[in-house]
């Protein structure tokens, strides 16, 4: 007969203890805002540049990065491409970093960071939107992009597509996929 290695009550008490430890933050530890739809994973600076090139960003453009992390996409759009930029992020820690980075780059007059939910953001003035989210978040965002953005606005996504909305262009850079769409005329 096989020996039982662990009893059920012991297993349950272990699970409970672990969930309690996870729920009580240790002193000094900072936790991300719990309701994030996407964890923070920054795009490399090299890929940021490729995203902005793919979006054809130029002076006069207004670049919105939805889920902007430390602000690197809109900061580079202002610094290297002469555009204006707005970043939106739900995590106040990211917004603090983004504002610091904008100061260091000397572009505070051309970029703005908003601490808020990307699904509630007013994105109507954007001429380019950048995304590094998740497949289901892209799909959830798609109706808002099509409803709120002006025809001709370019959308660039790092890694993830938009389901059956076929991109105008798809490129691979160092193993990462980038997608470009253009908002069509409204019917």
Ligand X SMILES: C[S@@+](CC[C@H](N)C(=O)[O-])C[C@H]1O[C@@H](n2cnc3c(N)ncnc32)[C@H](O)[C@@H]1O
Site residues (vs ligand X, CB under 6 A): 36-38, 40-43, 65, 67-69, 72-73, 88-91, 94, 117-119, 132, 158
**CB-closest chain residue to ligand X:** 67
Nearest-approach distance from CB 79 to ligand X, in angstroms:
15
- Nearer Cβ to ligand X, position 118 or 183? 118
Query: Measured from the CB atom, is 115 or 182 closer to ligand X?
Result: 115
Q: Are 22 and 29 in contact (CB under 8 A)?
A: no
Comparing CA positions, the residue from 65, 80, 82, 88 lying closest to residue 156 is: 65
Beta-carbon contacts of residue 87 (< 8 Å; ≥ 6 apart): 64, 65, 68, 69, 71, 73, 74, 95, 98, 111, 112, 113, 114
Nearer to ligand X, 20 or 31 (CB): 31
Q: What's the min distance (Å) between Cβ of 168 and ligand X?
A: 20
């Amino acid at each position: 007969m096989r020996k039982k290695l662990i009893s059920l009550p012991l297993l349950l008490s272990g699970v409970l203890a672990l969930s309690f430890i996870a729920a009580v933050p240790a002193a000094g530890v900072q936790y991300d805002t719990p309701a994030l739809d996407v964890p923070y994973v920054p795009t490399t600076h090299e890929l940021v540049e490729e995203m902005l090139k793919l979006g054809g960003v130029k002076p006069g453009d207004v670049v919105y990065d939805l889920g902007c992390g430390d602000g690197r996409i809109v900061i580079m759009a202002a610094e290297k491409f002469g555009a204006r930029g707005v970043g939106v992020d739900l995590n106040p820690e990211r917004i603090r970093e983004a504002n610091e980075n904008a100061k260091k780059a000397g572009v505070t007059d051309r970029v703005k960071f908003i601490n808020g939910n990307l699904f509630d953001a007013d994105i109507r003035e954007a001429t380019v939107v950048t995304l590094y989210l998740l497949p289901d978040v892209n799909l959830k965002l798609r109706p808002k992009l099509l409803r709120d953005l002006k025809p001709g606005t370019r959308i660039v996504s790092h890694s993830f597509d938009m389901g059956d909305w076929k991109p105008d262009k798809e490129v691979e850079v160092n193993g990462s996929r980038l997608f470009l769409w253009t908002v069509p005329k409204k019917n």
